[in-house]
Structure 1
Amino acid sequence: MSPPTSADFRTRLQDWLPRLVLAPSFATTLIFVYGFILFTVLLSFTGSKMLPNWSFIGLDNYVRLFKLQHWHIALKNIAVFASLYIVICTAIGLALAIFLDQKIRGEGMLRPIYLYPMALSFIVTGTAWKWFLDPGIGLEHVMHLWGWESFSFGWIKNSNMAIYCIVIAAVWQTSGFVMAMFLAGLRGIDNEILKAAQIDGASNWQLYRRIVIPLLRPAFLSAFVILSHLAIKSYDLVVALTGGGPGRATEMPATFMYSYTFTRNQMGVGAASAVIMLMTIAAIMVPYLYAELREKR
């Protein structure tokens, strides 16, 4: 057998180099993402309080979790927030995409304006909207200075309306991103199909209802998955905007998990709530990934 040549060594190096480069990132992800997910799942079955305690207690933490009124409040709030957030974001994003798809003048300037909020962190968005909605220094105060003394907008201080302030801020930040997804879908539609429908006498309403909207199904599905994921793990926006208040009016599963784990020293219950959130996200993501893989096959 002849000794390996420099060409063989170079070929082997080219084959292994990508693996060597990706190995640290893969190991880090494996440990600090999936490793800690497994660690959280294990904690949810233990009697952990302030520190991990490996005494196995079965499903007691889950039973206790669903008996807590605070958890039911958080579930109710996330249901209201997620449903409004997803529907409004999708509607606004689709409307903006259709508007920009008309080849209007200034499209190149409008696209970055709509997308700009997504470049901000949720902490910045929450803080900015907190100032804007604060009756003492925000919109209501400005209206009073302008002479409109009867104007009142104190939703952020109202326990019945505060959840809608979070919806407003979240929709403002994410609508531009959804618009970009729909705009990409619209630009990918074959113009020949649309021209054929117009020749057959289809109106613009029929064109969008029977051809364009059905062809945007992948964009709708992607938007739903991404928005659902953002809604379920919403923490920083809530903390910056309302802090979960007034009272517990804007308590979310993510803020509940943090408070029970790090403030109330109920690590087992907090881990159980985190596992419930993970299962909810998995219930959304797994069918989506399965559909994508099946479509590629």
Structure 2
Amino acid sequence: MPDTAKRPNPLFRNLTSKLAALPMIATALIVFVGCTVWTIYHSFTKSRMLPKSDFVGFDQYERLWGTRRWLVSVENLMIFGACMMVLSLVIGFFLATLLDQKIRFENTIRTIILYPFALSFVVTGLVWQWLLNPDFGVQKIVRDLGWTSFEFNPLYDVNIVIYGVLIAALWQGSGFIMVVMLAGLRGIDQDIWKAAKVDGISTWKTYVFVIIPMMRPVFVTALVLIASGIIKVYDLVKAQTNGGPGIASEVPAKYVIDMMFNNLNLGQGFAASTMMLLSVAVILIPWAYLEFGGKKHG
């Protein structure tokens, strides 16, 4: 006998949960989506100290890409981002594999490595500003030990200053990536390791050809977390170099904040922030399509 009972409308399923989520959805639409649209709109205007509706087309973007400071900040972000993604993943995964060997004092070592992540970027920037200072930092310590010709002052060299910032960022962020990778490694079934040992596969081959492919979602998550930190890096540069020497360590986030709050040039700041949003979209939209759309279409 066919079921004649009327099935509930899917729209009304979990109605209580949906109603509870309405404030957050409204906040996201109003604050995030609304402010994003507002920012993009005013990037095409002649806004200075206050927002204006004087439409000027792409003039703000032409000025932006004709400004050497912006070009230097984009170049620095590309160098910093590429190095940060590769090195933090490599260092984090390497540390995770070491801790995954069930070594003694694992909890203590993990806490020590993760501790820098608990510090703010301002504190990290100031600490590494002191450590890399040639007058009383690493360079002075090594010279006092007898190597008088040793030089290590990246924060005072315009050609490598961004790598000095990178050192501080790696010191702070690698521990967090290590924890993410370690969680992924601990989720691997131990039978896989036993089967690899029975087949005579070496440890490094097991990691490269078996474990790493299985941890693909973990690596994707780590990359998204790293990329989100790279795009908005500001306080570390502000505390460590303040964009110097000159403009050698400028980054887009610092350019946006300086334009909007120091130079009172909202139109230029809006244009720069829109370009930052576009760069995020260029990365995330293809990834989201490949990650979710590709699976959906089989």
- TM-score category of the 2 structures, normalised to the smaller one: 0.7 to 0.9
Q: Which residue of 1 aligns with 2:139?
A: 140
1:24: Cα distance to partner?
Answer: 5.3
Say if 1:134 and 1:140, in contact at 8 Å, map to a contact too: yes
Tell me the distance in 2 between the aligned counterparts of 1:18 and 1:223.
30
Alignment of 1:1-297 (within 5 A): 19=19, 26-146=25-145, 148-290=147-289, 293=292
**Which amino acid in structure 2 is aligned with residue 104 of structure 1?**
I
Q: Tell me the alpha carbon deviations over residues 54-97 of structure 1, each in whole angstroms, 9 at most, x when there is no partner.
A: 11112221122112222111111111111111111111001001
1:35 Cα deviation from its structure 2 partner: 2.8
Output the amino acid matched with 2:130. W
Shift of 1:292: 5.2
Could you say what the CA RMSD is over the residues aligned between the two structures, in angstroms?
2.4
- Single out whichever of 262-271 and 232-241 deviates more from structure 2: 262-271
User: SS where residue 56 of structure 1 aligns?
Assistant: coil
Query: Which residue identity is paired with 1:278?
Result: L
Q: Does 124-133 or 138-147 show the bigger shift?
A: 138-147
Q: CA deviation at 1:280?
A: 1.3
Q: Deviations over 1:256-283 (max 9, x none)?
A: 1122222233211211110111111223
Q: CA deviation at 1:146?
A: 4.8
TM-score, normalised by the number of residues in structure 1 = 0.87
Deviation of residue 284 (structure 1)? 2.6
1:127-179, Cα deviation, whole Å (9 max, x unpaired)? 11111111223222334455554333221111112111110000011001111
Which residue does 1:11 correspond to in 2? none
Percent of pairs with identical residues: 43
Q: How many equivalent residue pairs?
A: 284
- Paired with 1:127 and 1:75, the residues of 2 have a C-alpha distance of 24
Alignment partner, residue 9 of structure 2: none
**Which amino acid letter does the alignment assign opposite residue 165 of structure 1?**
G
SS at match of 1:35: helix
Match of 1:4 in 2: none
- The TM-score normalised by the length of structure 2 is 0.87
**Residues 187-209 of structure 1, C-alpha deviation per residue, up to 9 Å, x if partnerless?**
11122222222211211122112
Aligned amino acid, residue 42 of structure 2:
L
Indicate conservation of the 8 Å contact 1:225/1:284, yes or no: no
Return the alpha-carbon distance in structure 2 between the equivalents of residues 75 and 42 of structure 1.
22
Gap change, CA 1:169 and 1:74, over 3 Å in 2 = same
8 Å Cα contact 1:45-1:56 kept in structure 2: yes
Give the AA of the match of 2:200. Answer: G
Q: 1:196 to 1:17 in 2, by over 3 A?
A: closer
CA shift in 2, pair 1:15/1:215, >3 Å: closer
Judge conservation of contact 1:132–1:139 (CA < 8 Å) in 2: yes
Amino acid at match of 1:262: F
Superimposed CA distance per residue, residues 93-139 of structure 1 (whole angstroms, 9 cap, x where no aligned partner) = 01001001111111111111111111111111111111111122322
Mark the runs of 5 or more structure 2 residues left unpaired by the alignment: 1-13
Supply the distance in 1 between the matched residues of 2:175 and 2:293 (Cα, whole angstroms): 29
In 1: Cα distance, 2:51 partner to 2:268 partner:
12
3-state SS in 2 of match to 1:50: coil
> What letter matches 1:82 in structure 2?
G
Counterparts of 2:52 and 2:153 in 1: how far apart (Å)?
Answer: 45
Partner of 1:95: helix, strand, or coil? helix
Distance 1:289 1:180 in 2: 24
- Quote how far apart the aligned CAs of 1:240 are: 0.5
- Shift of residue 217 of structure 1? 1.3
